[in-house]
A and B are shown apart, each in its own frame.
Chain A
Amino acid sequence: MSQDNGAQDNGAHAGSGATGANGTESTTAATTDASLAARAKNPKKNGPKWWLISLIAVIAAIAVVVGVTFAFSANDEGQTDTSGASGAKYADSVTVGLKLAPTNLDIRTTAGSALDQVLIGNVYEGIVARDSKNQVAPAIASSWEESKDGLTYTFHLNKNMTFSNGDKLDAEDVAWSINELIAKQYHDAEALAAVIKVEAKDADTVVMTLKTPNSNLLWTLTGRAGLVFDKDAKYDLKTQAIGSGPYTVSKFVENSSITLKANEKYWGNNKAKTPTVVINYLADDNAAVNALKSGDVQVLAPITETLAEPFASDPDKYTVKAGNGTDKYVLAFNNASGSKLADKRIRQAIRYAINHKEIIASRGGADKALGGPIPSLDPGYEDLTGLYPYDQAKAKSLMAEAGYSTDKPLELSLTYANIYGTELGDQLRSQLKPIGIDLKVNVVEFSTWLQDVYTNHDFDISLVDHNESHDFYSWADPTYYFGYDNKDVQKLYNEGVAATSDKERDAKFAEAAKLISEDAPADWLFNYRVTTATAKGVEGFPFDLNQTVMPLYDVTYTK
């Protein structure tokens, strides 16, 4: 209808004279004859073309916006340039891009390694610390002794320590922090179940007494359990942090960023080299890559191998490196008695059917194969990848024994959180299909996973990145979500924990780990190695273990 009108319209001006039309229009338009009305659309033959004018206006508006931005951005760069010039050798600030953001700063009650990563060693310090090889190192305590029976630990503290608010840090604060953790059952208090009491013997000696020996104790104290808080300070732990570390939290925007400023009252050797470190949390991978490219962040950890490619191929401008870590991608089976996977043959068949090399290669090849529950940085590690090599024929025959084949497949569900992406589920489904398993993949929200799988044990197969170090205990706890109940393993684990020498402990753990792997209560897809990309000029950023321990005091950036 409207097109018709337009065509007539055009015809009309071509033919009709401009001046005469006006006169006729006033009489004809009163009638509703559309064709007549259309006749005198435009009195002037070459009148202004409104659509053209509007188009030009829009373009002009865009041009103005672009122009203004140019001006602004030029200004901006001018500012940063001058500030850069006034700085000495290193830049005044470094921005680090991370992925998983903490929702608050309350390290005492809120789980998640995002808090450990940014706060431990930077803002809060523990009685002991963890080095980049996952070993115990001195921190607030400069040295310690363990009694022969393994029941008493004596810590000798450094002298002249202070918190960032100026308060003195002494044995009282240490004892109070740990006792408080146990009394109030803060996060990780379970790990100190063997502790009877912690006492301040004098201003710089702390004595810890245990019910039973615990070979994991010192390592446990490197984490949240050993953090030292200011006994006398009153503040909201969710939004503020007062610790004794080289940095203080100067600004925290939940789920978005944390600004760390050098602690002027810092007492120790790890003095901050860069006055301001900004942590930016970038949930979107593409956004993260753009941020590194545009120089909005100087460090990106983690970055997926595939997205890191352009940076890796530009070594003049970027450094890309995968670091060791304790992330275990655990494909846990439901081992409870009523489960479809209670049949060991099926569990073994799945382990034989998974082509770990292919999975690792598809992720970029930085990850390491892992054949059992203990990763290489944890005590008791042994290479167990040989126990279940990729062998589809064997997997098929095991499935046939259990009564399943491609014609009569076993239906299983795989439930995992959406943070791990959909690729892994698809790969597993196609790898398990030929042996007669029809895998239904449910990708859910993390809190749904927590409810269905972790709490209600309502699943067949689950996939989680268990990134915690020293979490071998979960295999000795039959109430844990995978429901793995093996008395021999529990016995070996308890003996390992009670061991008074590291060698003895490692041997017991290794033996237990081998038993577990043989039993196939899960498949360990790989040991995820975090890839980190840094811009040229960044020095001192930790590559190993940086998703749980990320000391920043040494980080510098030279433009």
Chain B
Amino acid sequence: MRFVIHRLALFVVALFGLSIVIFAALRILPGDVASVMAGVNASPARVAQLREQLGLNRSLVEQYGDWMGALVRGDFGTSILTGRSVTALVASRAAITFPLIIVGLLIALAIGLPLGCAAVLARSARVRALFHMMSIIGGAIPALWGGLLLILLFGRGVGLIGILPSQGFPLDGWAMPGRALLSLVLPALSVGIIVGASIMRYTRAALGGFADSGYVDMARSCGMTRTQAVLRVGLRLATPQLVSVIGLTFASMITGVMVIENLFALPGIGNGLVTDVGNRDLIAVQSELFLLAAFFLGIGLIVDVLHRVLDPRMKTATSLSEVSQ
């Protein structure tokens, strides 16, 4: 319990520090939303007037204070350009990105975990080399190219076996779950294959380490076959490591799938963030980044807690060193 409280306190401090970094970094960017709104035919007077209206000519400390004050009250502000609350903006984008990365991660796990285990269990050197190559090739596929290939294979109207929609998200959103899910299949598959390859590599490395360790030898001495020992004992031991990797992969996928979102014309979080930065809609960008940072830290926190739940040895340092010997 003390551990959790300690971690929560760190979480808050980290968020506060991040808010300053985010705020300052965005103010270094050249250009502002007023000149974007005014466009290329506006007089300097018009830009100045807009800047005044939008409160962009106030001191930075004042602007930061306003932002933080609102954040503390749970108000993430309103995007200057779209006039919608940042919460609503992020929610509508997250409704696309989160299902995409969850499905993508499930596909990645379905590919990566079994293949990773298989790579360790395989007895023939040639088969192992084959798995090794698969993981390297999978990890080396550029997301854009992989996505394009999938479109060329399965994209409706474009592909060889054109069965899946490859463009956009249904306008009604999740009101028609079938179609919404369908539009995510190809993007999720492109993400899943690439992330799957990296999960496969992690699994292979983590499990491979334990397969040669005394734990597995011990299990086998108690009568398990090698396969049984690796899967029951080794995998159990590798789980904490894998959970960390999967958690962090999940978090980094939120913005990492941006290329895929762009390719499949999905208005998700990464895509939206880039547009907002391009338009210098800083109030929106800073709150979006803040939410992302909070999410990232949150995942880290959950992973840490899970670690302790999954690995009882972490509770006391002495027993850990005992076991490692």
Contacts and interface: CB of A to CB of B under 8 A. Distances in A.
A193 to B, nearest CB: 10
A445 B157 CA distance: 34
Interface in A80-127: 103-104, 106, 109-112
Interface string A271-287: 00000001010111011
Q: Which among A66, A293, A447 has the greatest number of chain B C-beta atoms within 10 A?
A: A447
Q: Which among B115, B148, B151, B167 has the greatest number of chain A C-beta atoms within 10 A?
A: B167
A204 B103 CA distance: 60
A104 B321 CA distance: 60
Contact of B182 (A72, A111, A291): A72
B164 A58 contact: no
Contact of A26 (B165, B223, B231): B223
B18 interface: no
B121 A25 contact: no
Interface stretch (A140-148, A247-255, A394-402, A517-525): A247-255
A109 B223 contact: no
Nearest to A113: B39
A290 B151 contact: yes
A290 to B, nearest CB: 5
B69 interface: no
A162 interface: no
Interface in A15-62: 22, 25-26, 29-30, 32, 34, 37, 40-43, 47-48, 50-51, 53-55, 57-58, 61
Contacts of B44: 455, 479
A187 B49 CA distance: 11
Interface residues of A, number: 92
A47 B82 CA distance: 63
A451 B157 contact: no
Contact of A293 (B158, B168, B263): B158
Given A61-B110, A259-B171, A293-B158, A51 B127 contact: yes
Contacts of B271: 255
B245 interface: no
A447 B280 contact: yes
A254 B84 contact: yes
Nearest to B49: A185
B305 to A, nearest CB: 30
Interface string B185-228: 10001000000000000000000100010100110111101110
Given A50-B117, A257-B171, A25 B214 contact: no
A34 to B, nearest CB: 8
A183 interface: no
B122 to A, nearest CB: 4
B38 interface: yes
B241 interface: no
A5 to B, nearest CB: 7
A189 B41 CA distance: 11
A109 B82 CA distance: 12
Contacts of A290: 151, 155, 157-158, 166-167
Interface in B72-93: 81-84, 89, 92
Nearest to B262: A284
Given A30-B221, A43-B225, A287 B39 contact: no
B182 A69 contact: yes
B227 A42 contact: yes
A278 B32 contact: no
B315 interface: no
A160 interface: no
A25 B216 CA distance: 13
Nearest to A73: B163
B49 A287 contact: no
A72 B178 contact: yes
B225 A41 contact: yes
B47 interface: yes
B267 A255 contact: yes
Contact of A296 (B122, B165, B208, B217): B165
B157 A112 contact: no
Contacts of A37: 217, 220
A454 B128 CA distance: 59
B249 interface: no
Interface string B248-290: 0000000000000011110100011001001111000000000
A471 interface: yes
A294 B41 contact: no
B65 interface: no
B128 A3 contact: yes
A44 to B, nearest CB: 8
A111 B47 CA distance: 11
Contact of A76 (B122, B178, B220): B178
A41 B30 contact: no
Nearest to A455: B35
B178 A75 contact: yes
Q: Which among A47, A54, A103 has the greatest number of chain B C-beta atoms within 10 A?
A: A103
A450 B51 CA distance: 14
Contacts of A452: 30
A111 B280 contact: no
A166 interface: no
B31 A448 contact: yes
Contact of A445 (B166, B217, B278, B281): B278
A482 B189 CA distance: 49
A296 B49 CA distance: 42
Nearest to A283: B262
Contact of A10 (B35, B123, B163, B231): B123
B1 to A, nearest CB: 39
Interface string B105-122: 001001100110111011
A6 B123 contact: yes
Nearest to A103: B81
Contacts of B92: 253
A65 interface: yes
Contacts of A449: 31
A538 interface: no
Contact of A55 (B42, B83, B115, B125): B115
B131 interface: yes
Contacts of A40: 220
Interface of A: 1-3, 5-7, 9-10, 13, 22, 25-26, 29-30, 32, 34, 37, 40-43, 47-48, 50-51, 53-55, 57-58, 61, 65-66, 69-70, 72-73, 75-76, 103-104, 106, 109-112, 185, 187-190, 236-239, 251, 253-257, 259, 278, 280, 282-284, 286-287, 290-291, 293-297, 445-452, 454-455, 464, 466, 468, 471, 474, 479
Given A290-B158, A295-B156, A447-B35, 13 more contacts: A22-B223, A29-B217, A50-B227, A54-B115, A73-B182, A104-B83, A236-B83, A238-B81, A239-B84, A253-B92, A254-B81, A287-B265, A295-B157
11 contacts: A40-B220, A47-B227, A51-B127, A106-B83, A255-B272, A256-B267, A259-B171, A283-B265, A294-B155, A446-B278, A448-B31
Which A-B residue pairs are the 5 nearest by beta carbons?
A: A111-B39, A294-B157, A238-B83, A29-B221, A447-B31
